[in-house]
């Protein structure tokens, strides 16, 4: 059985499709997860993930190309480092929400796999939930999408 081919979403005028075109591959999300945890070097990504060098190289290059990671010379070693950009950091809530979903709907019987805490006081963070413009928590049935200016003309 050959490699699965995925449809490219680049031509879709949809913010979710545009995002998935960049981060929708599972290794990419795991690379970002490790970057959020402080991994910076190729060899550490490779060791943590057990990923083939060619796949890791391609994924890291794409994340750099898309502006989610910056490749920089290391102050400590001859090997470059991969650092999250502002755009990369902006994906942190997405990964937190996915992890929270996994804990709720695919739990480990022994308890939480990872507890995310506030760095200042060590207390667990609240679940990520949609809120209205006044900060009121919204449930799934309270949210709907409406066309914005980019789709107002039917595009």
Helices (H), 3-149: 15-23, 26-36, 42-49, 53-65, 86-89, 92-105
CATH for 15-89 (3.40.50.720, 1.10.10.10, 1.10.8.100, 3.40.190.290): 1.10.10.10
Cβ-proximal residues to 55 (8 Å cutoff; 6+ apart), any chain: 27
d(C-alpha 118, C-alpha 52), whole Å: 34
Instruction: Provide the CA 13 distance to its chain's centre, in angstroms.
Output: 20
Q: How many helices (H) and strands (E) does the chain have?
A: 6, 2
Q: What is the pLDDT of residue 27?
A: 95
- Is the separation of the CB atoms in 27 and 51 below 8 Å? yes
pLDDT by residue, tens only, the chain of 155 residues = 445 556 666 678 888 988 999 999 999 999 999 999 999 999 999 999 999 999 999 999 999 999 999 999 988 888 999 999 999 999 999 999 999 999 999 999 999 999 999 999 999 999 899 999 999 999 999 999 998 998 876 65
Q: What is the CA radius of gyration of the chain?
A: 18
Domain boundaries, the chain: 15-89
């Amino acid at each position: 059985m050959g490699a699965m081919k995925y449809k490219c979403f680049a031509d879709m005028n949809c913010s979710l499709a545009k995002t998935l075109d960049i981060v929708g591959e599972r290794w990419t999300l795991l690379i970002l997860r490790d970057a959020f945890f402080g991994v910076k070097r190729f060899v550490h990504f490779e060791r943590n993930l057990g990923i083939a060098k060619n796949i890791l190289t391609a994924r890291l290059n794409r994340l750099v190309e898309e502006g989610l990671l910056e490749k920089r010379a290391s102050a400590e070693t001859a090997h470059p480092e991969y650092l999250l950009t502002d755009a990369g950091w902006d994906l942190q809530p997405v990964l937190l929400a996915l992890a929270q979903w996994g804990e709720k709907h695919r739990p480990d019987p022994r308890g939480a796999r990872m507890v995310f805490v506030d760095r200042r006081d060590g207390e667990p963070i609240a679940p990520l939930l949609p809120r209205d413009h006044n900060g009121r928590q919204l449930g799934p049935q309270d949210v709907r999408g409406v066309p914005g200016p980019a789709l107002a003309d039917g595009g």
